[in-house]
Structure 1
């Protein structure tokens, strides 16, 4: 009898490929109801290769019904749904995340952060590991947006998680990615920010994140990779905002040699900034370098001066500014020697 019922259902599904199993499911108002609906969705005997779309659509409808569950059961229901969605072959991940966002916002803070951490750990990358490795090695990171990066962007823009918790989760994700942890972390951060299209939001969030990240372990390596990736940001204003934020964040690094390293790297990125902002960019780097010892101030000044050709209309003033910084470094060194 069971076999006959299965064959009958297979015949029905073959003639109704867009059948929604939830139309025959009772109201989903508890975790028990949700699990029963999930069993129906996942066990229907669709013909081979034809089940992905119908199952995914049904799962996403169940995500929308999470709001009907008691508040204490929503986080667990969310995780069970995500686990099933992630098992579907070839599922793209992002449509589920867009719908999960509304459910996450409805959870109490502690439950929301715990659920988000589980979601981030469970989320699968959209692209294969080879594509991720290319991005980490400096390839076209804009084209490789992982599910994790997309969810991180939603978390950041919506303030769904405190910044320290977000950075800790991001570091955990990066540890499992190809390449060095610093490269992977910078790539995830970059992917996350690429999706923030509103300039004001981008600038505020980028400043907050890079300043906080600079004060943590491996801050220099992460910031240096971010400098490299920042020149690929699609909008000139975004590139300039990132440049300014990274220059400011460099002062939060634990060692002056690390600050100098980031400032020199930023100097080399000056030609990729909007032409009207390059002179100001050089001034910003020199100003940030004034806190350094004479040797490192001279190194930053030399790196900035080397970009004078990128500012043809003001190159003389630009070079003079760098020479004044070099002279200041020399005078500081001389004063230090006299003290000895």
Structure 2
């Protein structure tokens, strides 16, 4: 726990964290009270952030790679067991929604279209009607799905081979756009701007790209990429994967988390870093802003970048979730007037 000026609490570490790597953190929609956390220990945990307590847990047979809320008391999750589970937190019951042929890497609920989207290493995306037991449709992708997100009717999928596909959720016969990542190395995370103008893409090679949906040449001329999560030493520069990206919905600013144990907050439209948080105990594996932007959840988990036996001993650091209470000064673009 840390404090800012006047002794105000700015950060807490959640009690009873998962026992293995943390794969995702997601805040309850339209609230900052509950946080969903999935883990390589097979668990999906629901925390009451206000009370700093573990409210409930359910389990998969194998590691869980992603999870998301569809509504306040209902969530979905998937992982290495290839099973998409739905869970009713009020009733304490789970239901098998469906399957993929290979592990489920991404689970995302689109509130704009009321659809659940899953992406898998079987090179497919499935759209699910959460009210029915069977999936609505399957859509082939060019390679393993690593990351995806939605903004309005846009579905953006990042796959192996540096492919990026932009789909229209209303008409999924073929992708609207097929792109190659502007970053030279493997895609790690992709998140859409809340204003639905584009997306941010990160890679394993300490770079982030800012891209736009509009194919007008004047708009495309605004896209760019920048280096981040790099540590200069006396003899060289250490380059770290950028594992996580999360957007602040009100300001369209975003946070990035890397294997350098750091979290940065950026103003993507003005190409500025707004601030850098303190160094966390180990690699940042996942990030999420609450819908109102008042909190940032930071998952710190060693991601075995240096193998099983790290020279720094990072793998022995306890997996942790931190809740950072953010101020407007930290996340507001500098040019934006106070409201």
Whether TM exceeds 0.5 here: the answer is no
Q: Which has the higher helix share?
A: 1
Normalising by structure 2, what TM-score? 0.21
Q: Higher Cα Rg: structure 1 or 2?
A: 1
Q: Specify which structure has the bigger relative contact order, considering alpha-carbon pairs within 8 angstroms and separated by 6 or more residues.
A: 2
Q: Which has the higher strand share?
A: 2
